[in-house]
A = this chain, B = another copy of it.
């Protein structure tokens, strides 16, 4: 947890923002699990934990964390963004069960390379990508 404090402090300093209890509480909550939770879930978990942090602060802080690469925003196209901490997970994409909501992670070096080639071909400078497979997991199929 000590490093979590430092990572947050560094990010905030880089942004010219202050280190505050609320921001630490939010970052801690996000680090607690490796789930893919939306902002409301994170907000309510913090509330449940007995802390008083406003919804606005949760959203604002998550934006800072995303911007500084501590958190990854997941857009599954269902109208709400989900977030995962990037503490010890390397780059990966997601494979989602449309039945039970289960989210697995995958990574394929070859696909990454092919993406780079496409970017070159279209003369785009890629800054991020979304790659999600939707279907039925083994249990639901």
Chain A positions near chain B (C-beta within 8 angstroms): 75, 77, 81, 95, 97-98, 104, 106, 108, 110-111, 114-115, 118-119, 121-138, 141
Are B141's CB and A136's CB within 8 A? Answer: no
Number of copies: 2
Distance to closest chain B CB from A108 (angstroms): 6
Whole-angstrom distance from the CB of A127 to the nearest CB of chain B?
A: 5
Asked if B130 and A124 make an inter-chain contact with CB atoms under 8 angstroms apart, the answer reads: no
CA distance A127 to B130 in the complex (A): 17
Which chain B residue has the least Cβ–Cβ distance from A126?
B135
For A78, the closest partner residue in chain B by CB is: B75
- Nearest chain B CB to A59 CB, angstrom units: 14
Which chain B positions have C-beta within 8 A of A111?
111, 114-115
Q: Using known A-B contacts A77-B130, A133-B118, determine if residue A123 contacts B138 with beta carbons closer than 8 Å.
A: yes
Take A127-B136, A135-B124, A138-B123 as given contacts and tell me if A95 and B108 are in contact as well, using a CB distance cutoff of 8 Å.
no
Which of B97, B119, B141 makes the CB contact (< 8 A) with A95? Answer: B119
